[in-house]
């Protein structure tokens, strides 16, 4: 098996993981509020809620300090080692990258991440999880 293929495979795996984490953050918040409305007991799980809060907190802190996400850095490094142009690859990875890496000025991301983080933080108090 060609090493460039393995690097591309690893880069795609990192990209998929990155997308899953982003989906967890976004869909997790939607489900917390929907769970409150529909009386879903699992949304009160303190471990789910803590992991959700910590995940968005990391994103917010990285954006404030201008730190590029380690998943992005690792994915680009793997694609580079494969001899692939950064962000060109399989059809699926192309669309995942398009969704995940949209273009906007840095301040837009900082504001969006911060506002989203504030909403997640507020949800901790508005929809209190069960005690640990």
Among candidates 1, 2, 4, which has minimal Cα distance to 80?
Answer: 4
- Structural domain including 101 reads 3-126
Contacts of 26 (CB under 8 A, 6+ apart): 116
Q: Has residue 131 been placed in a domain?
A: no
- Angle, CA of 85, 89 and 94, to the nearest 5°: 110
Counted domains in the chain: 1
In angstroms, rounded to a whole number, what is the distance separating the alpha carbons of residues 81 and 2?
12
d(CA 20, CA 67): 20
Average pLDDT over residues 25-38: 98
Whether pLDDT at 128 is above 90: yes
| Cα 106 to Cα 63, 111, 129, distances in angstroms | 8, 9, 33
pLDDT per position as a tens digit, 57-113: 999 999 999 888 899 889 889 988 988 765 555 555 566 667 767 777 888 888 989
**Residue 132 falls within a domain, yes or no?**
no
| 32-46 residue pLDDT tens | 999 999 999 999 999
């Amino acid at each position: 098996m060609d090493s460039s293929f393995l690097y591309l495979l690893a880069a795609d795996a990192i990209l998929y993981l990155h997308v899953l984490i982003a989906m967890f953050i976004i869909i997790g918040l939607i489900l917390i509020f929907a769970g409150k409305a529909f009386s879903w007991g699992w949304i009160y799980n303190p471990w789910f809620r803590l992991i959700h809060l910590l995940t968005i907190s990391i994103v917010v802190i990285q954006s404030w300090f201008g730190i590029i996400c380690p998943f992005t850095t690792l994915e680009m490094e793997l694609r580079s080692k494969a001899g692939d142009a950064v962000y060109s690859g399989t059809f699926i990875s192309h669309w995942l990258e398009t969704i995940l890496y949209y273009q906007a000025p840095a301040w837009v991301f900082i504001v969006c991440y911060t506002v989203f983080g504030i909403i997640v933080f507020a949800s901790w108090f508005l929809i209190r999880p069960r005690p640990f």
